[in-house]
Each structure stands twice: as structure tokens, then as C-alpha cells.
Chain A
């Protein structure tokens, strides 16, 4: 039960983050807004990591550092900044819906690059995501 409550809290944290960003983006450019959000985000994650994973943080392997820097580049100067750019133009509801399809892109890349196996459930899930995306992307702007 606690696991489900925590999962819901995590989902609420991410959902609320988008709404707060939308308000903030009314008064700040997306690039600077992304930077501000990263400063506060980094502080909270660093504090939690120091509290529960201090030894691992201090002894992390160089290989892990290189990979996670690469992931950081994909997620923040690219992923989050593009997301804020998008949000300031089309709003939270549409941009978060398109963003949710990142799972589909991740799966496609995993199948192509890592050779991950396609299962019937993945095909069904992909069909739902593509249909949802199509519905959102083809909506006429009013």
C-alpha cells in the first residue's frame, strides 16, 4: 500500500511540476526557466542522495559518470528545455501528452539499438500511444 501511495505522490510531483512551470513561463524565457528549475531540483536530489546514498555517490565509477552526463544532456538542456519551449506555445495538456510518448521512442530505440524483444503487449501499448498522439496532433487550433 505504501508503495502505491508513494508512486501516486511521485506522479503528483511530476504533474504539479508541469503546472507550476506553465505559470512561471508567463514571466521568464524557457532557457532561463529551465536553469532555475534545475538549480532547485539539483539541490533537493543532492540532499536526498547524501542522506541515503552518500557512500555510492562518493565512490561512483568514472564509467557511470560519463554515461549519466550523457543522459543529463539528453534530459535537461534538451528534454526539459524543449518541453518548456513547447509548453509556452501549446500549453500543458498537449505538451505533457506528447511528452508521455517518450516511452514509445525509448522502446523503439531499445528494439533497434539494443535488440530488445517486441512482445504483443508492447505492440498493443504502442498502438494506444500512436492513436492518442494522432488525436492530439491533428486537433484544429481554435
Chain B
């Protein structure tokens, strides 16, 4: 199968997985514990399962990863988790109806940063930009609708 098609299938599968997680979170889970504790448990569960999945390659002698790649992946995780923590504090300072739409713009920020820093790796087309803007507008509308009383 074409590599691009596989890429799109993974992207949709990822959106479905995250979407299912969000749907579960809505099912009254916010009453069980705080978002930060929930995120800590979720991350630990993910960490344990992914360690088990990677156990063979971690033990193998042909494991060759550059320090630079490992550092960038670690920084990526650091930024993603900082996003979770900062989002939590944002919600203590402003209502969901404001925080949620602003946070939804992370897709456009990712594209802007890609354009600035990853020009060598990726070219952003006008069509992708237009699609991203429409998706973000849709997400903002939905998050406003959800946050309204």
C-alpha cells in the first residue's frame, strides 16, 4: 500500500483513539479525580504498555538511536506534558469557553512552527493550510458550544 495512504490511515486511527479517550473523559470521569491526577495515571499506563511493546528492541544489541533523536523525542514529550499542565492552570484562571477555543489553535501553531523550522523536511501547501484552518474553525465552534451553559 502507498506510504502516504498508510500515513493517512494512521492519522485517522490516531484521531479515533484520542476521540474515544475524550468521549470516555466526558462520561462523568471529571467527578472521579482531577485532570492532573487523571493525566498522571494515563501517562503511567501508556508508559508501562509501551515499555512492554519495546522490550525486545531495548534488549537487542542492534538498537542504534542517535542521541539527537532521543533528545528531540524527550523534548517533544516534555512539551506535550507541559501543555497538559499549563492547560490545567489556564482553566483555573479563565472559563472553559475561553480556554478551549484558544487551546484548539495548537494545530495552526504546529503548522506555523513547521513552516519556520522544518522547511527542509516539509513543504506546507496552500491546500493543507486551508484544510487546517477549516478544521480549527470547526473545533473552536464545537468547543464553544460544549462550554456554553
Q: Which residues of A contact B (CB under 8 A)?
A: 2-4, 6-29, 31-42, 44-46, 48-49, 52-53, 56-57, 60-61, 63-65, 67-83, 85-86, 88-110, 113-114, 116, 119, 121-122, 124-137, 139, 141-142
Contact = CB atoms under 8 A, between A and B. Distances in A.
Given A89-B3, A103-B142, A105-B20, A36 B103 contact: no
A37 B111 CA distance: 20
Contacts of A94: 7-8, 11, 128
B22 to A, nearest CB: 4
Interface of B: 3-4, 6-8, 10-27, 29, 32-34, 36-47, 49-51, 53-54, 57-58, 63, 65-66, 68-91, 93-95, 98-99, 102-114, 117-118, 121-122, 124-125, 127-145, 148
A133 B23 contact: no
B134 to A, nearest CB: 3
Contacts of B36: 45, 48-49, 52-53, 56
Contacts of A73: 45-46, 49
Given A37-B77, A38-B46, A97-B107, A77 B53 contact: yes
A70 B13 CA distance: 16
